[in-house]
Amino acid sequence: GFELTSKDYVEYLKKAYVKIHESGDYITELDAATGDGDHWANINSGFGKLNELADSLETMNLFELFKQIGKTMMSVIGGSSGVLYGSAYLAAAKTLKDKETIDNEGLCGVLAAMLDAIMSRGNAQPGWKTMIDSLHPAVECYKACIADGVSEAETVEKVKQAAIDGAESTKAMEAVRGRATYQTDKGVGHLDPGAVTMSYQIETLMDCVKE
């Protein structure tokens, strides 16, 4: 089975930055359609800062690394998503105390802790047209794969697809949280930008696990 170290996770942060960085026009358009158009700039600056810090992040243990990612995201991303990602990483850090690597069950635990933190900080549920609608199906899928003894290789593919399908499912949803709630149509017919960038992160992470 896989065992992600701090160094591996920092490699993931670098790849996620590339993926996010190159999707600027698309994500900006999505947030312009139902929100205030800054989501890409927010998340891109957060991942950009983490990339600048990469050399020092690599030397930290997983607990310190995740705490530092959370603090950085909270202070650099701004907007609703900064607070939510900050809380997510701080909650995930707590699951990594004394751990030197993240294995299959550990990664499921990390994503589950992130989901719980985002739902509680954002006071939001699945189906409300937010980033939760990519992360929640991914976590449900991950838990089911572990319970059913699905191979790690297959699990990674299934979790990735669940995140992507989840982001796609926000198109039909009426927003109950976030700026799309201010639209008369509650954003129906538009993808939620936060769900799409969440799916990019999960997709990239699962690809890193495969390698």
Binding site for Mg ion (CB under 5 A): 31, 35-36, 38-39, 79
Q: Is 166 in the site for ligand ADP (CB under 6 A)?
A: no
Q: How far is the CB of 110 from Mg ion (least distance, A)?
A: 26
Minimum CB–partner distance for residue 160 and ligand ADP (Å)? 19
Q: Is residue 124 involved in binding ligand ADP (CB under 6 A)?
A: yes
Among 3, 36, 154, 185, indicate the residue that binds ligand ADP (CB under 6 A): 36
Task: Among 4, 107, 195, 208, indicate the residue that binds ligand ADP (CB under 6 A).
Answer: 195
Q: List the one residue from 67, 136, 160, 177 that touches ligand ADP (CB under 6 A).
A: 177
Q: Residue 173 carries which DSSP code?
A: P
Of 6 and 192, the one with the shorter C-beta distance to ligand ADP is 192
Answer whether 200's CB lies under 8 Å from 21's CB.
no
Cβ closest to ligand ADP, residue 90 vs residue 195: 195
- Report the interface residues with ligand ADP, using CB under 6 A: 31, 35-36, 38-39, 42, 79-81, 84, 118, 122, 124, 130-132, 177-179, 192-195
